[in-house]
Amino acid sequence: MPGFADDATVLQRIFDHIDNRTTDRAAGTWREPVASYTDPARFAAELTLMRRSPTPFCPSAALPETGAWLARRAGGTPLLAVRGADGRVRVFRNACRHRGALLAEGTGCDRAFVCRYHGWTYGLDGTLRHIPHADGFPGLDPTTHGLAPVAAAERCGMVIVAQDGELPTDGGAAALPELIGPQHRIHAFSDTPVEANWKVLAEGFLEGYHIRTTHRDTFYPRQYDNLTVVELAGCNSRIAFPYRSIEKQRALPPQQRRAGPALTYVHHLFPNVMLATFPTNLVLIAIEPAGIDRSRLVTWTLTDRPAEPAAQGEVDHARDFVNAGAAEDRAVVAAIQQGIASGANEYFEYGLFEGAIANFHRALHRAIDGGSP
């Protein structure tokens, strides 16, 4: 990922931390007003930011063939992505141009989209193809009533969208990790509700200070407590969470050391998408606000392991292990949301070990307020 160190450099930084019993520290602490999590005007501004920002919508692998489609909300907006007969992915606002009904829900593969209300029919390119009893709409021009498109492009194995505005000419690729290759396929998908503000969920991905206390029987036996390498690239970040098995690579020459079996990278793609690496799979996570105190974790697990049962069993085992730790995180963030309602805190205090969270909030304040509070 541009602006980030190579694997050998990251692994050496981890070895230095292990030897010195240290971790990466930010230059300073951060105080975030609790009002940022409870103010309806602030929440509306965050949704606006999500809609204007180039943001991953789904992995390209979720649309593997002509007619494959995926519908979900992004930034509060119902969107519909589909791969056309020309191989191109297009993304539309998910609403019939007659009376606004959703055209699709979930995933599928079709040759056209037919509105279940009155049967208006659209091609994979969004063109309005058929109006039942068209004589009832004198003067209606079908060419102006196709599905409403949003800017979209495929970059780095992901479908990137910008709902309100244009994508950069490179689709924002300079800010994205080149981790999802054409060999990756979808192994599992989930859409999980969580009773917490979306920012509380995002913060849980961005520090390792909680590993021992939150994940005592899951991640902690395999990872280190409060030992991370934190790298910032503008509003994005990457955090390395090393496994204890990293010690196996200590004797190797630096150029032979590999991050894949030794650590998890968590890439934060601002504002609300995470991409995490594991030895057998990748996980792409969109943290979608469903309300000021409610969210959804839209998650794709991808793998490039062979389709044979033994290899897929390894992926299943790894996914189940990560899911167990993720359930612990969800329980904590739901408890944080309840604690917000207590009125005990005017600010949340983020320490030197939580620099990626501070970077996240700084970026939000710059984008929404024009500066830090």
- Where are the CATH 2.102.10.10 domain residues in the chain? 55-171
Short-list 129, 157, 166, CA closest to 145: 129
Cβ count near 325 (within 10 Å): 18
Cβ count near 160 (within 10 Å): 28
3-class secondary structure, 223: strand
Given 3.40.50.2000, 3.30.70.100, 2.40.10.480, 3.90.380.10, which CATH number is that of 7-52+179-369? 3.90.380.10
Could you tell me where the DSSP H helices lie in the chain? 7-20, 40-52, 198-204, 211-214, 309-340, 355-369
Q: Which of 161-178 are b and which e, b meaning 16 or more Cβ less than 10 Å from the residue's Cβ? A: bbbeeebeeebbbebbbe
> Phi-psi region for residue 368, left (φ > 0), alpha (ψ -120 to 50) or beta?
alpha
Rounded alpha-carbon distances, angstroms, from residue 68 to 63, 80, 184, 330: 5, 11, 16, 31
10-residue mean pLDDT series, the chain (373 residues)? 84 98 98 98 97 96 98 98 98 98 98 98 98 97 97 96 88 75 96 98 98 97 97 96 97 95 97 97 98 98 95 95 97 98 97 98 94 43
**pLDDT at residue number 171:** 64
For the record, the structure tokens of 285 come out as 């996570």
**pLDDT at residue number 172:** 66
**pLDDT at residue number 165:** 83
Residues forming a β-bridge with 158: 59, 155
The DSSP code sequence of 124-170 is: TTS-EEE-TTGGGSTT--GGGSSPPEEEEEEETTEEEEESSS---TT
- Where are the CATH 3.90.380.10 domain residues in the chain? 7-52+179-369
Question: Is residue 36 a contact partner of residue 142, using CB atoms and an 8 Å limit?
Answer: no
CATH number of the 55-171 domain = 2.102.10.10
